[in-house]
Protein backbone atom coordinates (compact mmCIF):
# COMPACT_ATOMS: atom_id res chain seq x y z
CA UNK A 1 0.00 0.00 0.00
CA UNK A 2 2.90 2.32 0.72
CA UNK A 3 4.02 2.01 -2.87
CA UNK A 4 0.46 2.54 -4.09
CA UNK A 5 0.34 5.80 -2.23
CA UNK A 6 3.56 6.99 -3.78
CA UNK A 7 1.88 6.33 -7.13
CA UNK A 8 -0.78 8.83 -6.23
CA UNK A 9 -3.47 6.71 -4.52
CA UNK A 10 -5.41 8.72 -1.93
CA UNK A 11 -6.96 6.72 0.92
CA UNK A 12 -10.43 7.46 2.34
CA UNK A 13 -10.29 10.36 4.80
CA UNK A 14 -13.84 11.72 4.78
CA UNK A 15 -17.40 10.88 3.85
CA UNK A 16 -16.98 12.35 0.42
CA UNK A 17 -15.05 11.29 -2.62
CA UNK A 18 -13.03 13.80 -4.53
CA UNK A 19 -15.91 14.34 -6.92
CA UNK A 20 -18.22 15.19 -4.01
CA UNK A 21 -20.31 11.98 -3.94
CA UNK A 22 -20.43 9.84 -0.78
CA UNK A 23 -18.32 6.71 -0.20
CA UNK A 24 -20.48 3.67 0.35
CA UNK A 25 -19.67 1.43 3.30
CA UNK A 26 -18.52 -1.25 0.92
CA UNK A 27 -16.14 1.12 -0.77
CA UNK A 28 -14.85 2.22 2.60
CA UNK A 29 -14.22 -1.37 3.57
CA UNK A 30 -12.30 -1.86 0.34
CA UNK A 31 -10.17 1.12 1.34
CA UNK A 32 -11.51 3.11 -1.58
CA UNK A 33 -10.00 0.70 -4.08
CA UNK A 34 -11.94 -1.28 -6.63
CA UNK A 35 -12.41 -4.91 -5.55
CA UNK A 36 -9.93 -6.06 -8.15
CA UNK A 37 -7.27 -3.64 -7.03
CA UNK A 38 -7.99 -4.47 -3.40
CA UNK A 39 -7.41 -8.19 -3.77
CA UNK A 40 -4.39 -7.61 -5.94
CA UNK A 41 -2.86 -5.53 -3.19
CA UNK A 42 -3.64 -8.21 -0.60
CA UNK A 43 -2.05 -10.88 -2.77
CA UNK A 44 1.11 -8.92 -3.28
CA UNK A 45 1.77 -8.56 0.44
CA UNK A 46 4.24 -11.24 1.59
CA UNK A 47 3.02 -10.88 5.16
CA UNK A 48 -0.32 -12.24 4.03
CA UNK A 49 1.37 -15.35 2.64
CA UNK A 50 2.79 -16.03 6.08
CA UNK A 51 -0.67 -15.57 7.53
CA UNK A 52 -2.11 -18.09 5.09
CA UNK A 53 0.41 -20.67 6.21
CA UNK A 54 -0.32 -19.98 9.86
CA UNK A 55 -4.05 -20.34 9.31
CA UNK A 56 -3.68 -23.45 7.21
CA UNK A 57 -1.96 -25.17 10.11
CA UNK A 58 -3.51 -23.33 13.02
CA UNK A 59 -7.22 -23.23 12.24
CA UNK A 60 -7.74 -26.99 12.12
CA UNK A 61 -5.91 -27.32 15.42
CA UNK A 62 -7.93 -24.52 16.96
CA UNK A 63 -11.13 -26.24 15.88
CA UNK A 64 -9.74 -29.52 17.20
CA UNK A 65 -9.27 -27.92 20.59
CA UNK A 66 -13.04 -27.53 20.88
CA UNK A 67 -13.86 -30.94 19.43
CA UNK A 68 -11.33 -33.06 21.29
CA UNK A 69 -10.86 -30.93 24.38
CA UNK A 70 -7.92 -29.35 26.11
CA UNK A 71 -6.30 -32.74 26.57
CA UNK A 72 -5.62 -32.88 22.85
CA UNK A 73 -3.74 -29.59 22.61
CA UNK A 74 -1.95 -29.42 25.97
CA UNK A 75 -0.06 -31.82 28.18
CA UNK A 76 -3.10 -31.92 30.51
CA UNK A 77 -0.85 -31.02 33.39
CA UNK A 78 -2.30 -30.98 36.88
CA UNK A 79 0.87 -29.39 38.23
CA UNK A 80 0.86 -26.63 35.61
CA UNK A 81 -2.83 -25.89 35.25
CA UNK A 82 -2.05 -22.64 33.44
CA UNK A 83 -0.08 -22.91 30.24
CA UNK A 84 0.73 -20.62 27.36
CA UNK A 85 -2.88 -19.61 26.68
CA UNK A 86 -3.02 -17.68 29.91
CA UNK A 87 0.72 -17.20 30.33
CA UNK A 88 0.90 -15.37 27.04
CA UNK A 89 -2.69 -14.50 26.23
CA UNK A 90 -3.67 -13.05 29.58
CA UNK A 91 -0.58 -12.23 31.59
CA UNK A 92 1.43 -10.75 28.70
CA UNK A 93 -1.36 -9.28 26.56
CA UNK A 94 -3.08 -7.35 29.33
CA UNK A 95 -0.13 -5.26 30.56
CA UNK A 96 0.87 -4.54 26.97
CA UNK A 97 -2.63 -3.16 26.49
CA UNK A 98 -2.47 -0.74 29.39
CA UNK A 99 -1.91 2.03 26.85
CA UNK A 100 -5.65 2.67 26.63
CA UNK A 101 -6.10 4.01 30.08
CA UNK A 102 -2.73 5.76 30.04
CA UNK A 103 -3.61 7.77 26.96
CA UNK A 104 -7.12 8.48 28.20
CA UNK A 105 -5.66 9.83 31.40
CA UNK A 106 -3.02 11.93 29.71
CA UNK A 107 -5.28 13.54 27.16
CA UNK A 108 -8.68 13.71 28.81
CA UNK A 109 -7.72 14.09 32.46
CA UNK A 110 -4.47 15.96 32.45
CA UNK A 111 -5.54 17.95 29.46
CA UNK A 112 -2.39 17.16 27.48
CA UNK A 113 -4.06 17.76 24.13
CA UNK A 114 -0.65 17.56 22.46
CA UNK A 115 -0.89 13.77 22.80
CA UNK A 116 -4.10 13.76 20.80
CA UNK A 117 -2.56 12.43 17.56
CA UNK A 118 -1.63 9.20 19.29
CA UNK A 119 -4.53 8.95 21.74
CA UNK A 120 -6.71 6.82 19.53
CA UNK A 121 -3.91 4.43 18.74
CA UNK A 122 -3.42 4.01 22.48
CA UNK A 123 -7.12 3.36 22.99
CA UNK A 124 -7.29 0.89 20.13
CA UNK A 125 -4.20 -0.94 21.35
CA UNK A 126 -5.94 -1.27 24.69
CA UNK A 127 -9.25 -2.43 23.32
CA UNK A 128 -7.84 -5.05 20.97
CA UNK A 129 -5.40 -6.33 23.55
CA UNK A 130 -8.17 -6.91 26.04
CA UNK A 131 -10.47 -8.35 23.46
CA UNK A 132 -7.91 -10.94 22.47
CA UNK A 133 -6.97 -11.61 26.07
CA UNK A 134 -10.60 -12.67 26.44
CA UNK A 135 -10.28 -14.77 23.29
CA UNK A 136 -7.26 -16.52 24.77
CA UNK A 137 -9.20 -17.02 27.97
CA UNK A 138 -12.01 -18.59 25.97
CA UNK A 139 -9.56 -21.01 24.41
CA UNK A 140 -8.18 -21.88 27.82
CA UNK A 141 -11.31 -22.19 29.92
CA UNK A 142 -12.49 -25.75 30.25
CA UNK A 143 -16.07 -24.65 29.63
CA UNK A 144 -15.93 -21.33 27.76
CA UNK A 145 -19.72 -21.25 27.47
CA UNK A 146 -19.79 -20.77 31.24
CA UNK A 147 -17.82 -17.54 30.98
CA UNK A 148 -20.72 -15.56 32.39
CA UNK A 149 -21.17 -17.84 35.40
CA UNK A 150 -19.01 -15.66 37.67
CA UNK A 151 -21.14 -12.71 36.64
CA UNK A 152 -24.65 -14.05 36.91
CA UNK A 153 -24.91 -17.67 37.91
CA UNK A 154 -22.65 -18.41 40.83
CA UNK A 155 -20.61 -15.63 42.31
CA UNK A 156 -17.41 -15.90 44.28
CA UNK A 157 -16.82 -12.26 45.14
CA UNK A 158 -13.96 -12.96 47.54
CA UNK A 159 -11.76 -14.35 44.78
CA UNK A 160 -9.20 -12.24 42.93
CA UNK A 161 -10.19 -13.76 39.61
CA UNK A 162 -13.75 -12.63 40.23
CA UNK A 163 -12.48 -9.08 40.34
CA UNK A 164 -10.45 -9.62 37.19
CA UNK A 165 -13.47 -11.03 35.36
CA UNK A 166 -15.77 -8.18 36.33
CA UNK A 167 -13.22 -5.49 35.72
CA UNK A 168 -12.06 -6.75 32.37
CA UNK A 169 -15.67 -7.03 31.24
CA UNK A 170 -16.56 -3.54 32.45
CA UNK A 171 -13.35 -2.09 31.14
CA UNK A 172 -13.89 -3.63 27.73
CA UNK A 173 -17.21 -1.83 27.46
CA UNK A 174 -15.51 1.38 28.58
CA UNK A 175 -12.95 1.01 25.85
CA UNK A 176 -15.53 0.25 23.21
CA UNK A 177 -17.32 3.43 24.25
CA UNK A 178 -14.10 5.41 24.09
CA UNK A 179 -13.57 4.29 20.52
CA UNK A 180 -17.12 4.94 19.38
CA UNK A 181 -16.11 8.41 18.11
CA UNK A 182 -13.62 6.89 15.68
CA UNK A 183 -16.17 4.39 14.47
CA UNK A 184 -18.99 6.88 14.21
CA UNK A 185 -16.88 9.26 12.13
CA UNK A 186 -16.02 6.47 9.76
CA UNK A 187 -19.59 5.21 9.50
CA UNK A 188 -21.01 8.69 9.49
CA UNK A 189 -23.06 8.71 12.72
CA UNK A 190 -22.19 12.03 14.33
CA UNK A 191 -24.77 11.60 17.12
CA UNK A 192 -23.00 8.65 18.71
CA UNK A 193 -19.83 10.66 18.89
CA UNK A 194 -21.54 13.55 20.62
CA UNK A 195 -23.09 11.23 23.15
CA UNK A 196 -19.75 9.69 24.11
CA UNK A 197 -18.06 13.06 24.25
CA UNK A 198 -20.46 14.01 27.01
CA UNK A 199 -19.33 11.19 29.23
CA UNK A 200 -15.69 10.93 28.34
CA UNK A 201 -14.49 12.11 31.74
CA UNK A 202 -16.50 9.46 33.56
CA UNK A 203 -15.27 6.77 31.22
CA UNK A 204 -11.69 7.83 31.70
CA UNK A 205 -11.87 7.85 35.49
CA UNK A 206 -13.59 4.47 35.42
CA UNK A 207 -10.81 3.28 33.14
CA UNK A 208 -8.12 4.32 35.62
CA UNK A 209 -9.81 2.62 38.55
CA UNK A 210 -10.54 -0.58 36.70
CA UNK A 211 -7.06 -0.69 35.22
CA UNK A 212 -5.25 -0.11 38.48
CA UNK A 213 -7.26 -2.86 40.07
CA UNK A 214 -7.19 -5.55 37.45
CA UNK A 215 -3.58 -5.02 36.42
CA UNK A 216 -2.72 -5.39 40.08
CA UNK A 217 -5.13 -8.30 40.43
CA UNK A 218 -3.29 -10.27 37.79
CA UNK A 219 -0.27 -10.07 40.05
CA UNK A 220 -2.33 -10.83 43.13
CA UNK A 221 -3.49 -14.05 41.46
CA UNK A 222 -0.02 -15.40 42.08
CA UNK A 223 -0.16 -14.62 45.77
CA UNK A 224 -2.46 -17.65 45.95
CA UNK A 225 0.62 -19.70 45.17
CA UNK A 226 3.22 -18.33 47.57
CA UNK A 227 5.42 -21.39 47.53
CA UNK A 228 5.10 -22.18 43.85
CA UNK A 229 6.44 -19.05 42.18
CA UNK A 230 10.17 -18.56 42.69
CA UNK A 231 10.81 -16.10 45.55
CA UNK A 232 12.63 -13.68 43.24
CA UNK A 233 9.46 -13.28 41.19
CA UNK A 234 7.17 -13.37 44.17
CA UNK A 235 6.39 -10.89 46.91
CA UNK A 236 3.17 -11.07 48.91
CA UNK A 237 2.94 -7.38 49.77
CA UNK A 238 4.30 -6.01 46.46
CA UNK A 239 3.12 -8.43 43.81
CA UNK A 240 0.09 -6.40 42.79
CA UNK A 241 2.12 -3.22 42.78
CA UNK A 242 4.87 -4.74 40.64
CA UNK A 243 2.28 -5.88 38.14
CA UNK A 244 0.54 -2.54 38.13
CA UNK A 245 3.64 -0.34 37.74
CA UNK A 246 5.16 -2.59 35.13
CA UNK A 247 1.88 -2.44 33.21
CA UNK A 248 2.33 1.33 33.01
CA UNK A 249 5.62 1.18 31.15
CA UNK A 250 4.51 -1.95 29.30
CA UNK A 251 1.50 -0.13 27.86
CA UNK A 252 3.54 2.97 26.95
CA UNK A 253 6.34 0.93 25.41
CA UNK A 254 3.88 -1.17 23.42
CA UNK A 255 2.35 2.03 22.12
CA UNK A 256 5.77 3.19 20.95
CA UNK A 257 6.38 -0.18 19.32
CA UNK A 258 3.03 -0.19 17.52
CA UNK A 259 3.40 3.41 16.41
CA UNK A 260 6.84 2.56 15.05
CA UNK A 261 5.41 -0.36 13.13
CA UNK A 262 2.66 1.82 11.67
CA UNK A 263 5.24 4.36 10.66
CA UNK A 264 7.15 1.67 8.80
CA UNK A 265 4.45 -0.51 7.34
CA UNK A 266 1.32 1.63 7.21
CA UNK A 267 2.74 4.95 6.31
CA UNK A 268 0.15 5.32 3.57
CA UNK A 269 -2.56 5.49 6.22
CA UNK A 270 -0.89 8.04 8.51
CA UNK A 271 -1.60 11.72 8.02
CA UNK A 272 0.85 14.59 8.36
CA UNK A 273 -0.39 15.48 11.80
CA UNK A 274 0.44 11.99 13.04
CA UNK A 275 3.76 11.54 11.30
CA UNK A 276 5.08 15.00 12.12
CA UNK A 277 4.24 14.68 15.79
CA UNK A 278 5.32 11.09 16.24
CA UNK A 279 8.94 11.64 17.24
CA UNK A 280 8.01 14.29 19.77
CA UNK A 281 5.25 12.13 21.20
CA UNK A 282 7.50 9.08 21.31
CA UNK A 283 9.83 11.04 23.55
CA UNK A 284 6.89 12.12 25.70
CA UNK A 285 5.87 8.49 26.12
CA UNK A 286 9.48 7.57 26.77
CA UNK A 287 9.58 10.02 29.63
CA UNK A 288 6.52 8.49 31.22
CA UNK A 289 7.84 5.00 30.70
CA UNK A 290 11.18 5.80 32.29
CA UNK A 291 9.45 7.15 35.40
CA UNK A 292 7.45 3.93 35.70
CA UNK A 293 10.57 1.87 35.05
CA UNK A 294 12.52 3.49 37.84
CA UNK A 295 9.60 3.08 40.25
CA UNK A 296 9.36 -0.54 39.24
CA UNK A 297 13.07 -1.15 39.68
CA UNK A 298 13.10 0.38 43.14
CA UNK A 299 10.07 -1.57 44.35
CA UNK A 300 11.52 -4.76 42.91
CA UNK A 301 14.61 -4.21 45.03
CA UNK A 302 12.49 -3.37 48.06
CA UNK A 303 10.56 -6.58 47.42
CA UNK A 304 13.74 -8.63 47.55
CA UNK A 305 14.97 -6.80 50.63
CA UNK A 306 11.62 -7.19 52.38
CA UNK A 307 11.72 -10.98 52.12
CA UNK A 308 15.51 -11.04 52.39
CA UNK A 309 15.87 -12.99 49.19
CA UNK A 310 19.37 -11.78 48.34
CA UNK A 311 20.88 -15.24 48.59
CA UNK A 312 18.75 -16.43 45.66
CA UNK A 313 20.53 -13.95 43.41
CA UNK A 314 23.61 -16.15 43.51
CA UNK A 315 21.81 -19.21 42.19
CA UNK A 316 21.05 -20.13 38.58
CA UNK A 317 17.59 -18.64 38.99
CA UNK A 318 19.31 -15.49 40.22
CA UNK A 319 21.29 -15.23 37.00
CA UNK A 320 18.08 -15.63 34.99
CA UNK A 321 16.48 -12.97 37.15
CA UNK A 322 19.39 -10.60 36.58
CA UNK A 323 19.09 -11.19 32.85
CA UNK A 324 15.43 -10.18 32.98
CA UNK A 325 16.15 -7.10 35.07
CA UNK A 326 19.14 -5.95 33.03
CA UNK A 327 17.66 -6.50 29.57
CA UNK A 328 14.06 -5.77 30.39
CA UNK A 329 14.37 -2.95 32.92
CA UNK A 330 17.85 -1.45 33.29
CA UNK A 331 18.70 -1.16 29.60
CA UNK A 332 15.33 0.29 28.56
CA UNK A 333 15.56 2.68 31.48
CA UNK A 334 19.02 3.84 30.43
CA UNK A 335 18.09 4.14 26.77
CA UNK A 336 14.85 5.94 27.48
CA UNK A 337 16.66 8.42 29.70
CA UNK A 338 19.36 9.02 27.10
CA UNK A 339 16.74 9.30 24.39
CA UNK A 340 14.80 11.93 26.29
CA UNK A 341 17.95 13.87 27.10
CA UNK A 342 19.23 13.86 23.52
CA UNK A 343 15.81 14.01 21.84
CA UNK A 344 16.64 10.79 20.07
CA UNK A 345 13.37 9.09 19.13
CA UNK A 346 15.05 6.11 17.47
CA UNK A 347 16.81 5.23 20.69
CA UNK A 348 13.49 5.48 22.53
CA UNK A 349 12.01 3.08 20.00
CA UNK A 350 14.79 0.61 20.58
CA UNK A 351 14.25 0.93 24.33
CA UNK A 352 10.55 0.26 23.80
CA UNK A 353 11.22 -3.00 22.00
CA UNK A 354 13.45 -4.08 24.88
CA UNK A 355 10.88 -3.11 27.49
CA UNK A 356 8.14 -5.04 25.72
CA UNK A 357 10.40 -8.06 25.57
CA UNK A 358 11.22 -7.60 29.25
CA UNK A 359 7.58 -7.54 30.25
CA UNK A 360 6.76 -10.61 28.23
CA UNK A 361 9.67 -12.38 29.85
CA UNK A 362 8.64 -11.26 33.32
CA UNK A 363 5.08 -12.50 32.96
CA UNK A 364 6.12 -15.79 31.41
CA UNK A 365 8.69 -16.22 34.15
CA UNK A 366 6.09 -15.69 36.84
CA UNK A 367 3.33 -17.75 35.28
CA UNK A 368 5.27 -20.58 33.71
CA UNK A 369 9.03 -20.65 33.79
CA UNK A 370 9.68 -20.21 37.50
CA UNK A 371 6.28 -21.55 38.52
CA UNK A 372 6.78 -24.84 40.37
CA UNK A 373 10.50 -24.10 40.43
CA UNK A 374 10.92 -26.84 42.98
CA UNK A 375 9.20 -29.46 40.83
CA UNK A 376 10.11 -29.55 37.17
CA UNK A 377 9.97 -27.50 33.99
CA UNK A 378 6.93 -27.85 31.78
CA UNK A 379 7.47 -27.46 28.04
CA UNK A 380 4.18 -26.57 26.31
CA UNK A 381 2.68 -28.97 23.79
CA UNK A 382 3.38 -27.99 20.16
CA UNK A 383 -0.34 -27.69 19.44
CA UNK A 384 -0.63 -25.21 22.30
CA UNK A 385 2.11 -23.12 20.68
CA UNK A 386 0.41 -23.29 17.27
CA UNK A 387 -2.89 -22.11 18.75
CA UNK A 388 -1.20 -19.20 20.49
CA UNK A 389 0.43 -18.16 17.22
CA UNK A 390 -2.87 -18.49 15.36
CA UNK A 391 -4.87 -16.42 17.81
CA UNK A 392 -2.13 -13.82 18.04
CA UNK A 393 -2.01 -13.59 14.25
CA UNK A 394 -5.73 -12.94 14.26
CA UNK A 395 -5.06 -10.12 16.69
CA UNK A 396 -2.59 -8.65 14.23
CA UNK A 397 -4.97 -9.10 11.30
CA UNK A 398 -7.81 -7.35 13.10
CA UNK A 399 -5.49 -4.62 14.34
CA UNK A 400 -4.23 -3.98 10.84
CA UNK A 401 -7.71 -4.04 9.36
CA UNK A 402 -9.00 -1.43 11.80
CA UNK A 403 -5.96 0.80 11.36
CA UNK A 404 -6.36 0.68 7.60
CA UNK A 405 -9.93 1.93 7.81
CA UNK A 406 -10.96 3.90 10.84
CA UNK A 407 -9.58 7.31 11.69
CA UNK A 408 -6.93 6.18 14.16
CA UNK A 409 -3.73 7.24 12.45
CA UNK A 410 -5.34 10.11 10.59
CA UNK A 411 -7.91 12.76 11.33
CA UNK A 412 -11.31 12.45 9.74
CA UNK A 413 -12.33 15.41 7.68
CA UNK A 414 -15.78 16.32 8.92
CA UNK A 415 -18.52 17.42 6.55
CA UNK A 416 -18.93 21.14 6.65
Partner 1 sequence: MKKLNRRSFLKGGLAGGATIVAVGTSKQALAGTHNFGGYPDSMGVLVDLTKCVGCRTCEAACNKEQGLPTPDKPFDDLSVFEEKREGGLPRRTSEKAYTVVQKYDVEGREHPLFRKVQCNHCNEPACLTSCFVNAYKKTPEGAVIYDKTVCVGCRTCMIACPFYIPAYSYSSAINPVVKKCIMCYDTRLKFGRPPACVESCPQEVMTFGKRTDLLKLAHQRISEKPDKYVDQVYGETEVGGTAWMYMSDVPFDKIGYDNHLGTQPIISYVKEFLAMVPMVLTIWPALFTGFHLLSNRKDALKNDDNKS
Contacts of partner 1 in 330-389 (CB under 8 A):
375-378
Taking CB under 8 A as the criterion, which residues in 189-208 touch partner 1?
201, 204-205, 208
Residue 308 sits in the site that holds partner 1 (CB under 8 A): no
Residue 63 sits in the site that holds partner 1 (CB under 8 A): no
Q: Distance between CA atoms of 182 and 177, rounded to whole angstroms? A: 10
Residue 154 sits in the site that holds partner 1 (CB under 8 A): yes
Beta-bridge partners for 320: none
Residue 143 sits in the site that holds partner 1 (CB under 8 A): yes
As measured in angstroms, the least distance from the Cβ of 272 to partner 1 is 25
Taking CB under 8 A as the criterion, which residues in 162-181 touch partner 1?
162-166, 170
What dihedral angle (degrees, nearest 10) is formed by the CA atoms of 172, 250, 275, 49?
-80
As measured in angstroms, the least distance from the Cβ of 213 to partner 1 is 6
The burial class, CB within 10 Å (0-12 / 13-18 / 19+), for 222 is buried
Contact pick of 23, 33, 102, 108 for partner 1 (by CB under 8 A): 108
- What is the DSSP code (8-state) at residue 23? P
As measured in angstroms, the least distance from the Cβ of 156 to partner 1 is 4
Contact pick of 10, 50, 199, 209 for partner 1 (by CB under 8 A): 209
Beta-bridge partners for 16: 22
Q: Distance between CA atoms of 143 and 159, rounded to whole angstroms? A: 19
Residue 201 or 298 with smaller CB distance to partner 1: 201
What beta strand segments (E) does 150-232 contain?
none
* DSSP percent split of the chain into helix, strand, coil, nearest 5: 75, 0, 25
Phi-psi region of 160 (alpha: psi -120 to 50; beta: other; left: phi over 0): alpha
As measured in angstroms, the least distance from the Cβ of 204 to partner 1 is 8
Residue 171 or 336 with smaller CB distance to partner 1: 171
Residue 212 sits in the site that holds partner 1 (CB under 8 A): yes
Contact pick of 53, 173, 227, 272 for partner 1 (by CB under 8 A): 227
- The torsion angles phi and psi of 376, rounded to 5 degrees, stand at -160, 170
Residue 67 sits in the site that holds partner 1 (CB under 8 A): yes
Residue 228 sits in the site that holds partner 1 (CB under 8 A): yes
Beta-bridge partners for 413: 14
As measured in angstroms, the least distance from the Cβ of 109 to partner 1 is 5
Rg (C-alpha) for the chain, rounded Å, is 22
Helix axes 46-68, 382-405, angle to 10 degrees: 130
Beta-bridge partners for 14: 413
Residue 264 sits in the site that holds partner 1 (CB under 8 A): no
Contact pick of 14, 223, 279, 393 for partner 1 (by CB under 8 A): 223
Residue 60 sits in the site that holds partner 1 (CB under 8 A): no
Q: Distance between CA atoms of 20 and 181, rounded to whole angstroms? A: 23
Residue 256 sits in the site that holds partner 1 (CB under 8 A): no
What beta strand segments (E) does 41-200 contain?
none
As measured in angstroms, the least distance from the Cβ of 306 to partner 1 is 11
- What is the DSSP code (8-state) at residue 402? H
Residue 159 sits in the site that holds partner 1 (CB under 8 A): yes
Would you give the binding string for partner 1 spanning residues 109-128, x where CB under 8 A is met?
xxxx----------------
As measured in angstroms, the least distance from the Cβ of 219 to partner 1 is 8
Q: How many residues does the chain have?
A: 416
As measured in angstroms, the least distance from the Cβ of 64 to partner 1 is 10
Residue 158 sits in the site that holds partner 1 (CB under 8 A): yes
Q: Distance between CA atoms of 383 and 139, rounded to whole angstroms? A: 12
Residue 77 or 276 with smaller CB distance to partner 1: 77
Residue 54 or 139 with smaller CB distance to partner 1: 139
Amino acid sequence: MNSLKSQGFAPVVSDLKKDGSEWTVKEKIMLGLSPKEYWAVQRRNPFNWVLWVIYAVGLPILVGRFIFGLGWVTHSSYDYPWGLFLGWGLFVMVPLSASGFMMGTTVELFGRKDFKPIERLGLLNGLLGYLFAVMFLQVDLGQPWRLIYPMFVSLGPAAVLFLVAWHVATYLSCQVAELVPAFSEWMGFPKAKKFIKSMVLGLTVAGIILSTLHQGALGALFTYAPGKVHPLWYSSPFQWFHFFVSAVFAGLSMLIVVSTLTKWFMRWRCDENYLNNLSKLTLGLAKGASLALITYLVTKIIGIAHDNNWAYLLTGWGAWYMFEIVVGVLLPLTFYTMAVRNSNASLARFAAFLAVFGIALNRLNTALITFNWQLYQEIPHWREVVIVITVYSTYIVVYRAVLARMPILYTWKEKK
